[in-house]
Chain A
Amino acid sequence: MLLTNLESVPGRRIVSHFGLVQGSSIRAKHVGRDLMAGLKNIVGGELKGYTELLSESRQQAIDRMAAQAEELGANAVVNVRLSTSSVAQGAAEILAYGTAVSVE
């Protein structure tokens, strides 16, 4: 599955469009990570636990989007966009969406 966030796949020609595909994942942080982050908040710097958590769920959202595109018979997703929003306190929703196409 080819993914790009451009209108096309550079070097390939788009043969057909399959429309919008999307995948999302909502994750909550857990108490252990919260505790570590609370300590880290005093000295500042990267909160590795949260970075991991969010990149895992981002990957999952992208995978789900790719799976949906595959179901439609596409072999690429173009113009992929990512967005994050917090749906509840301590939980983040990550959304990946794009246009499923098939390329040569």
Chain B
Amino acid sequence: MELFVVLLNLAAIIALPVLGFVCGSVAESRHYRSIRERESRWLDKPALTCRTPLDDSRTVARAEMAVGSVVVSVDYFKRILAQLRLFFGGELGAYASLVDRGKREAILRMREACPNADAYLNVRLQTSSLSRGERQMLGSVEVVAYGTAVTYAHGLHPEEAREDG
């Protein structure tokens, strides 16, 4: 019986990182594919950190706030890598893709909250950890992107304008 418990524990110790590594890599590459695909659709509508529209000649018809947020976490394998890093110090490479995915996803969701806007001004990004001090929650972050979505007055959407003209 005891041997069984030991074996079970051992299996969990090995299986969890492996499961995390496999599922995490698949999920990450799928997420990146989706991010790249969606980002390419928004290329003509800039998200800026400026406070004024780049194109001064056009009057703004509508302005509203757009908010997008996402909570992402790393897989078990990367969490172990990070814990080793916490011992030795240095850059946490395992978490780089986590925050990168979170930020790009949050910006995309902000755009998707106001899909008809022509530009997004004063975009701000904010990262926060959901729960402080909880060991098991190490490695999950919330990223919020918010900005002002503006629509120009006689500016139809680029697609509509193309259809018209």
Among candidates A3, A11, A42, A84, residue contacting B65 with C-beta atoms closer than 8 Å: A3
7 residue pairs A–B, Cβ–Cβ below 8 Å: A2-B64, A42-B19, A45-B24, A51-B71, A84-B144, A89-B134, A92-B128
Chain B contacts of A42 at CB under 8 A? 16, 19-20, 23, 75-76
How long is the Cα–Cα vector from A44 to B97 in the complex, in angstroms? 12
Chain A contacts of B53 at CB under 8 A? 10
Cβ of B120 to closest chain A Cβ, rounded Å: 10
Q: Which of A51, A85, A92 has the most CB of B within 10 A?
A: A51
Chain A contacts of B24 at CB under 8 A? 43-45
Cβ of B68 to closest chain A Cβ, rounded Å: 9
Identify the 8 closest CB pairs spanning chains A and B, nearest first.
A44-B75, A11-B60, A43-B23, A10-B60, A44-B24, A50-B71, A3-B65, A84-B128
The 0/1 profile, CB within 8 Å of B marked 1, for residues 40-72 of chain A is 111111111011001100100010000000000
Report whether A47 and B136 are in contact in the complex, using a CB–CB cutoff of 8 Å: no
Report whether A85 and B128 are in contact in the complex, using a CB–CB cutoff of 8 Å: yes
B108 CB within 8 Å of chain A: no
Cβ of B34 to closest chain A Cβ, rounded Å: 11
Give the interface segment out of B2-10, B83-91, B145-153: B145-153
A32 CB within 8 Å of chain B: no
How long is the Cα–Cα vector from A44 to B71 in the complex, in angstroms? 11
How long is the Cα–Cα vector from A46 to B98 in the complex, in angstroms? 10
B132 CB within 8 Å of chain A: yes
Spell out B's residues near A (CB within 8 Å): 16, 19-20, 23-24, 27-28, 31, 51-53, 59-65, 67, 69-76, 78-79, 105, 121-122, 124, 126, 128-134, 136-137, 139-140, 142, 144, 146-148, 150, 153
Q: 8 Å CB contacts to B: which residues of A69-87?
A: 80-86
How long is the Cα–Cα vector from A58 to B145 in the complex, in angstroms? 12
Chain B contacts of A82 at CB under 8 A? 67, 126, 144, 146
A4 with B65, Cβ < 8 A, contacts A44-B23, A44-B75 known: yes
Spell out A's residues near B (CB within 8 Å): 2-7, 9-12, 29, 37-38, 40-48, 50-51, 54-55, 58, 62, 80-86, 89-90, 92
Chain B contacts of A85 at CB under 8 A? 128
Chain B contacts of A2 at CB under 8 A? 63-64
Report whether A51 and B70 are in contact in the complex, using a CB–CB cutoff of 8 Å: yes
Cβ of B78 to closest chain A Cβ, rounded Å: 7
Cβ of B122 to closest chain A Cβ, rounded Å: 5
Among candidates A9, A43, A81, A92, residue contacting B19 with C-beta atoms closer than 8 Å: A43
